[in-house]
Amino acid sequence: MSFALWFVAMLVCPVVTVWFVVYPRLIRDALWYGWISERLYLYAFPPFFGLASVVSASKVFEAWGIPWPEWLEMWTIGPMGFLMIYGGFAVLGLPVPPFLTPKWVRERRSQDREERRRHRREKKAAARRNEQTS
């Protein structure tokens, strides 16, 4: 990749990372709730763009001839790589700890579970009434 693309990625990726971390926590509801895009937006995109920003910054520093601090790379790539792998598993359906999920998503999921429970109770009650009348 050319220097210009690495430079643009170094400027854009941190902004996108912050966007994907902050925005879902500020909104109250989203159209992407309940779809695969929910897990992508919450768990896969933030670490991917965070890792991309670290890699692009190291490439830009390398092109400029400035030494990139290896300790910074190790302290950022390790956790971002772990979160990226974990985000991939989360996209596939692995349960995610509550502190990684925005409050409105947790509340909405609990409301959805309660709605499903209520629907099952009503369905069972209707089945019992049908059995008793037969």
Give the pLDDT of residue 1.
Answer: 61
C-alpha to C-alpha distance for 56 and 50, rounded to whole angstroms: 10
Express each pLDDT in 47-62 by its tens digit.
888 888 888 888 888 8
C-alpha to C-alpha distance for 28 and 107, rounded to whole angstroms: 10
C-alpha to C-alpha distance for 93 and 101, rounded to whole angstroms: 14
Reply yes or no on whether the pLDDT at 117 is more than 90: yes
Domains of the chain by residue range: 3-97, 102-134
Express each pLDDT in 10-19 by its tens digit.
888 888 888 8
- One-letter amino acid at 37 equals S
Tokens 């992508």 map to which residue?
A: 40
Express each pLDDT in 73-95 by its tens digit.
788 888 888 888 888 888 888 88
Calculate the average pLDDT of the chain: 82
Reply yes or no on whether the pLDDT at 118 is more than 70: yes
Confidence (pTM):
0.69
Contacts of 114 (CB under 8 A, 6+ apart): none
C-alpha to C-alpha distance for 95 and 114, rounded to whole angstroms: 18
